[in-house]
Amino acid sequence: MVKLTNTFSQYNKNPLVLLEGGLYGHMSHIWEDHELTFTDLSDMIDSLLSGGIESIKEKVDGQALACSMDMEGNVIFARNKGHIKNFGEKALKWEGVQETFADRGDLTNAFSFAAQDLSKALCSLDRDVQELRFGPYDAKVPKLSANGKDIVKDRNGDPVMETVKIKRWLNFEIVWPETTNVVPYNHRLIVLHNYDAFDIEGRRRESDFNDFAETIRQDLERINKLVQKRFTISTVPLMKLPQPRSFENSKESYIVRINKLRDEFRLTDENTLGDYYSVKIKNKILEAATSIGYSVSESLLDILINRWLNAVKSPSIREIEKMVPFDDDNGGSAAVTFRGWIKSTDAKDMQKKLLSDTRGEVKDMVIDLGIEVMGNLADFLALNPSESTNQIRAAIDKVIKQTEATGNAEYTRQIEKYLETIHKAGGIDKVVPSEGFTFSYRKKNGEYAVYKLVGGFSDLNNLIGFFKYKRA
């Protein structure tokens, strides 16, 4: 079994939220966690279906940013990693946020007005409260390796702890109706999410899921500063997952699907999704090599798997091609053909397709799970869910009519694919005004991870934005 060389972001017994966009990049879907075991996958699905997940919040369709406060009591903002180094030495004040997003229409208004309102609110807090919430402090955290990416562990596999000075940054999203992608919110919000704390080198060392944001909201509520000039400041309340009526039947159907994936390559419950994906890609490579009469080495297999599954870019594609010599026992023509196959598969679009195909069955199962769970949720961030749902339906109808007017068969095929997902969710009448939700899950090894579960939202997003983002 090839050893995976990338790791899913984890910190010792400490939930980690990866917000979408800006400094915090991409929040992971369940199928993207290569370290998730089949045991954890089964237990997670059980918990989601039975209402056993408690740390769960609606995922907001907004613009991400982070803020803190400097030693002079100024609110500072971070959009990238350079802004948080040296405890925010190069971070932006609200004027810098406005300048960064200048000349971008509604997006300019969203960021600059939110930065102004949040600055005014946080600057109203007593100085001792500001320092308590955002001042640097000593914390005992897992020690990081020299590259800052891995946690150092002792002989027993437990994290080695160290005391370092760190500083909190409050993650928030801006809900400005004119800039939301799909969900038509009908009010302007600054939604506080959680904190991430960074050391002086800008490495994330500590985090939470919800408590810090709620504390800040309460601080502002006590001084009557939640309602500002353009925005209302809020948090996302923790939600309670209801148990589906047919919980046992639903659970059994997913267990059957999980076991089928596991048994396909004779894996065990303790094998991971990464192990499963690795075998699928390995078989794809072997199939291509065998079809042309080339015998590929185990070392080259491992390199290609890690390149295409884990985005490990070393060695380079030119160096990899040299690992397929022309004078080997396979004969020159087979080597030339296999080099060409590697090069074509390494193209960006082909890599994307390979990864999509590899994860396809797991992704489909997770999407079905999201559709089922979201169908049981009733409370959403939009103040008027019915009105928001009607606006989404109208947007879908508009795209369908536009597609019919073009007469383009390929457009029709793509639109029908997106509509198929919506039909699986119960049809347009069952569309809910929500991007999905995030939740914290504790794995069997004691580590926490945070995932997003969006059901059919990705395809809904692609559908509504089909012509908006379509290249001419």
The string of pLDDT tens digits covering residues 353-376 is: 999 999 999 998 998 888 788 766
pLDDT at 4 over 60: no
Q: 459, 421 in Cβ contact below 8 A? A: yes
Identify the pLDDT of residue 450: 84
Query: Per the structure block, which two tokens stand in for 293?
Result: 């009469």
Phi then psi dihedrals of residue 207, to 5 deg: -160, 170
- 407 — pLDDT class (breaks 50, 70, 90): confident
Q: How far, in Å, CA of 183 to CA of 373, rounded?
A: 18
The average confidence (pLDDT) of the chain is 83
For residue 223, pLDDT beyond 70 = yes
**Whole-angstrom distance, CA of residue 177 vs CA of residue 185:** 6
Res. 409 pLDDT band, cuts 50 70 90: confident
408-421 burial, b at 16+ Cβ within 10 Å, e below that, comes to eeebeebbeebbeb
- Which of 55-59, 139-143, 357-361, 373-377 bottoms out in mean pLDDT, i.e. has the lowest? 373-377
List Cα–Cα distances, 112 to 67, 70, 88, 306, 412, in angstroms.
13, 19, 19, 42, 40
Mean pLDDT across the stretch 62-73? 92
CA 142 to centroid of chain Cα atoms: 23
Flag whether pLDDT at 235 surpasses 80. Answer: yes
Task: Say whether pLDDT at 379 is over 60.
Answer: no
Q: How confident is the model at residue 185 (pLDDT cuts 50, 70, 90)?
A: low
Would you state the pLDDT for residue 11? Answer: 28
Spatial CA neighbour of 283 closest among 237, 71, 275, 110 = 275
Is the pLDDT score of 23 beyond 60? no
Give the integer Cα–Cα distance in Å for 419 and 388.
19
| 431 CB neighbour count, 10 Å cutoff | 21
| Residues near 134 by beta carbon (within 8 Å), at least 6 away in sequence | 68, 69, 167, 168, 170
Whether residue 38 contacts residue 255, with contact meaning beta carbons closer than 8 Å, is answered with no
Rounded Cα distance between 11 and 143, Å, is 10
pLDDT in tens, 381-396: 444 556 666 777 777 8
Report how far residue 200's alpha carbon sits from residue 400's, in angstroms, rounded to the nearest whole number. Answer: 52
Q: Are 38 and 271 in contact (CB under 8 A)?
A: yes
End-to-end CA distance of the chain: 45
AA identity, residue 359: R
pLDDT (0 to 100) of residue 381: 46
Summarize pLDDT for 257-266 with one digit per residue, the tens.
999 999 999 9
In contact, 64 and 20? CB cutoff 8 Å: yes
Q: What confidence category does residue 425 fall into, taking pLDDT thresholds of 50, 70 and 90?
A: low
Instruction: State the pTM of this model.
Output: 0.71
Closest CA to 241 of 428, 456, 386, 453: 453
Give the model's pLDDT for residue 75.
96
Q: Is residue 284 very low, low, confident or very high in pLDDT (cuts 50, 70, 90)?
A: very high
Q: Is 308 helix (H, G, I), strand (E, B) or coil?
A: helix
One-letter amino acid at 158 equals D
Q: Which is higher by pLDDT, 175 or 165?
A: 165
Residue 13 reports pLDDT greater than 60: no
CA distance 446 to 441: 10
- Percent residues over pLDDT 90 in the chain: 45
Weakest mean pLDDT among 27-41, 187-201, 349-363, 428-442: 428-442
pLDDT of residue 385: 57
- pLDDT beyond 80 at 141: yes
- Which helix (DSSP H) or strand (DSSP E) does residue 328 occupy? none
Helices (H), 375-471: 385-406, 409-424, 457-464
Look at the block and give the residue holding tokens 């997940």: 53
CA-CA distances (angstroms) from residue 97 to 112, 118, 179, 299, 325? 6, 12, 16, 48, 53
Contacts 24+ apart (CB under 8 A), 214-223: 215/133, 216/122, 216/133, 216/170, 216/192, 217/192, 219/125, 219/129, 219/133, 220/121, 220/122, 220/124, 220/125, 223/124, 223/125
* Closest among 270, 262, 232 to 383, alpha carbons compared: 232
Asked if pLDDT for residue 15 goes beyond 60, the answer is no
The phi and psi torsions of 203 (rounded to 5 degrees) equal: -100, 135
125 Cβ neighbours under 8 A, 6+ residues apart: 133, 219, 220, 223
Is residue 22 scored above 80 in pLDDT?
A: no
pLDDT at 7 over 50: no
Q: What is the average pLDDT across 339-346?
A: 93
Which tokens is 102 given? 């200048």
On the question of pLDDT at 179 being above 70, the answer is no
Non-local (6+) Cβ contacts of 213 within 8 A are: 170, 171, 172, 192, 193, 194, 195, 235
When pLDDT is averaged across residues 389-411 and rounded to a whole number, the result is 81
Cα separation, 187 vs 231, whole angstroms: 8
Question: Looking at residue 195, what DSSP letter applies?
Answer: E
